């Protein structure tokens, strides 16, 4: 079923997606909330990622040991808790904004609307790239209609919508989503052709995803356990990696190269090439993970605010039963991702829109959500209509919540059904 997508169509649809995303962003910021464009970048984690760009391309490199949005480290020094993966992916857009500013004789300090807008464009661009590769992956197994519907649901019915086109383009998650989607696609290609090309094409986005958010390293289980469904297939896969040990060496080398800028920064500040930059913030809940908070929490529960995942999990259970689509690897990745998030010192992840830390791993649910969609299409008409209506409600729920969400209102007072309703009502 897999077919090459026409490049000219990709470009055309990409421009349309970008234009639509910018219009939606404008409506969100200036019609619904009156939010200035600098809020896309300034403050919280967003500024932590963005400051790498300003200091690398504009300011004196000596100031790298005194970044403003960072943790104190020693006397007069600071070290960023955020890695540089987002900055690396956003650098072409930032540089475009910088050259435009120079050409138009505008301020070139990295803190004008042109620079902030470039990051908004980057977020929309990487969301589109991620969905293109999810579609390409799904077309290997499903027809065009199921693949397109499934891909659309990732954008319309999950918090990717908020973290790409509304007010989250400065955060890390849409970039992780994009890199893992590319990695997922090329894992499948590598399973059919163990070429160096495919190994590089899966290794680079995987390494970038880990650089963006180090917890994404658990995504490596997908390629390690590709095709494993029981002990017998585990022995086969282990034998494969023993015979192809050079591939592991190459993947490790890719990781070192991709991480080199980060290691140089860490060494510049701390004298260490490997450094835990979050320092006092960590995982104090290893022995008592807050699974309920992560999955069903009243503020940012994954299933509470991204209920379309329920359809994907239903599809995953079918695949586990039938031992299909690397479902065992997917299950392990989902388990460890939830466990890690539930062990984090702040399992709600602050003023987030849904469980944002799970956005990174959504591509692994592509095949299972597509299976659920294909099963619904085969159901008797009354049931098919009912479940389709539920999916439409989930889409409206996600979009309305994204548009109405206000972090101050949401977090500065106790949770109540009235507050929940005021956020969702039209």
Residue-wise pLDDT tens digits, 88-97: 999 999 999 9
Chain-centre distance of CA 178, in angstroms? 6
Among residues 136, 147, 121, 138, the alpha carbon closest in space to that of 24 is found at 121
pLDDT of residue 417: 78
- Angle, helices 85-103 vs 44-57, to 10°: value is 60
> How many residues are there in the chain?
426
pLDDT of residue 280: 82
Q: Is the pLDDT of residue 122 over 70?
A: yes
Among residues 99, 93, 149, 159, the alpha carbon closest in space to that of 126 is found at 93
Instruction: State the Cα torsion 224-229-230-234 to the nearest 10°.
Output: -20
Q: What residue has token string 């592991």? A: 248
Q: Is the pLDDT of residue 1 over 60?
A: no
Q: Is the pLDDT of residue 398 over 80?
A: yes
Render pLDDT for 234-247 as a digit per residue (tens, 0 to 9): 999 999 999 999 99
Mean pLDDT of the residues in the chain: 94
Alpha-carbon distance of 175 to 122, in angstroms, equals 9
Alpha-carbon distance of 287 to 339, in angstroms, equals 10
Residue 96, token pair as written in the block: 């475009």
Alpha-carbon distance of 62 to 77, in angstroms, equals 11
| Backbone φ and ψ of 71, nearest 5° | -90, 145
| Percentage, residues of the chain above pLDDT 90 | 85
Average pLDDT over residues 218-232: 97
Alpha-carbon distance of 344 to 111, in angstroms, equals 32
Q: How confident is the model at residue 2 (pLDDT cuts 50, 70, 90)?
A: very low
Q: How confident is the model at residue 60 (pLDDT cuts 50, 70, 90)?
A: confident
Q: What residue has token string 């891909």? A: 151
* Residue 99 CB neighbours (<10 A): 11
Alpha-carbon distance of 160 to 289, in angstroms, equals 25
Alpha-carbon distance of 96 to 101, in angstroms, equals 9
3-state secondary structure the chain: CCCCCCHHHHHHHHHHHHHHHHHHHHHHHHHHHCCCHHHHCCCHHHHHHHHHHHHHHCCCHHHHHHCCCCEECCCCCEECCCCCHHHHHHHHHHHHHHHHHHHCCCCCCCCCHHHHHHHHHHHHHHHHHHHHHHHHHHCCCCCHHHHHHHHHHHHHCCCHHHHHHHCCCCCCHHHHHHHHHHHHHHHHHHHHCCCHHHHHHHHHHHHHHHHHCHHHHHHHHHHHCCCCCCHHHHHHHHHHHHHCHHHHHHHHHHHHHHHHHHHHHHHHHHCCCCCCCCCCCCCCCCCCCCHHHHHHCCCCCHHHHCCCHHHHHHHHHHHHHHCCCCHHHHHHHHHHHHHHHHHCCCCCCCCCCCCHHHHHHHHHHHHHHHHHHHHHHCCCHHHHHHHHHHHHHHHHHHHHHHHHCCHHHHHCCCCCHHHHHHHHCC
Q: How confident is the model at residue 5 (pLDDT cuts 50, 70, 90)?
A: low
pLDDT of residue 93: 98
Render pLDDT for 317-373 as a digit per residue (tens, 0 to 9): 999 999 999 999 999 999 999 999 999 999 999 888 999 999 999 999 999 999 999
* Residue 161 near residue 155 (C-beta atoms within 8 A): yes
Highest mean pLDDT out of 33-42, 180-189, 344-353:
180-189
pLDDT of residue 426: 65
Average pLDDT over residues 254-274: 96
Q: How confident is the model at residue 99 (pLDDT cuts 50, 70, 90)?
A: very high
Q: How many CA atoms lie within 13 A of 114 on its CB side?
A: 17
Render pLDDT for 273-291 as a digit per residue (tens, 0 to 9): 999 988 888 999 999 999 9
* Residue 293 near residue 286 (C-beta atoms within 8 A): no
């Amino acid at each position: 079923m897999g077919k090459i997508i026409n490049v000219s169509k990709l470009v055309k649809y990409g421009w349309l997606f970008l234009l639509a995303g910018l219009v939606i962003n404008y409506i969100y910021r200036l019609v619904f909330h009156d939010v200035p464009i600098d809020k896309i970048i300034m403050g919280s984690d967003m500024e932590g990622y963005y400051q790498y760009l300003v200091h690398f391309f504009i300011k004196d490199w000596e100031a790298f040991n005194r970044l403003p949005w960072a943790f104190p480290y020693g006397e007069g020094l600071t070290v960023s808790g955020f890695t540089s993966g987002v900055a690396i992916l956003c650098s072409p857009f930032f540089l475009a904004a910088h050259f435009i500013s120079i050409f138009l004789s505008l301020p070139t300090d990295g803190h004008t609307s042109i620079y902030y807008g470039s990051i908004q464009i980057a977020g929309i661009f990487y969301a589109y790239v991620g969905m293109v590769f999810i579609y390409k992956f799904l077309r290997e197994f499903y027809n065009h209609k199921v693949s397109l519907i499934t891909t659309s649901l990732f954008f319309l019915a999950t918090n990717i919508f908020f973290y790409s086109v509304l007010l989250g383009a400065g955060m890390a998650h849409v970039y992780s989503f994009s890199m893992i989607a590319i990695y997922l696609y090329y894992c499948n290609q590598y399973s059919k052709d163990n070429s160096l090309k495919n190994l590089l094409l899966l290794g680079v986005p995987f390494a970038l995803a880990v650089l963006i958010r180090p917890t994404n390293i658990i995504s490596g289980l997908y390629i390690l356990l590709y095709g494993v469904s029981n002990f017998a297939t585990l022995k086969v896969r282990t034998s494969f990696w023993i015979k192809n040990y050079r591939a592991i060496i190459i993947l490790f080398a890719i990781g070192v190269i991709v991480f080199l800028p980060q290691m140089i920064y860490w060494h510049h500040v701390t004298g260490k090439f490997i450094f835990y930059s979050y320092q006092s913030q960590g995982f104090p809940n290893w022995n008592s993970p807050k699974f309920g908070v992560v999955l069903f929490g009243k503020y940012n529960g994954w299933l509470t605010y991204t209920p379309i995942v329920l359809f994907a999990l239903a599809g995953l259970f079918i695949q586990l039963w039938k031992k299909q689509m690397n479902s065992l690897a997917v299950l392990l990745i989902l388990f460890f991702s939830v466990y890690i998030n539930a062990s984090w010192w702040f399992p709600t992840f602050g003023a987030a829109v849904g469980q944002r830390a799970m956005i990174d791993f959504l591509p692994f649910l592509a095949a299972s959500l597509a299976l659920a969609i294909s099963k619904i299409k085969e159901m008797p008409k009354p049931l098919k209509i009912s479940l389709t209506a539920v999916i439409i409600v989930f889409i409206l729920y996600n979009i309305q919540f994204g548009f109405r969400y206000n972090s101050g209102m949401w977090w500065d007072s106790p949770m109540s059904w009235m507050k929940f309703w005021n956020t969702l009502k039209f």
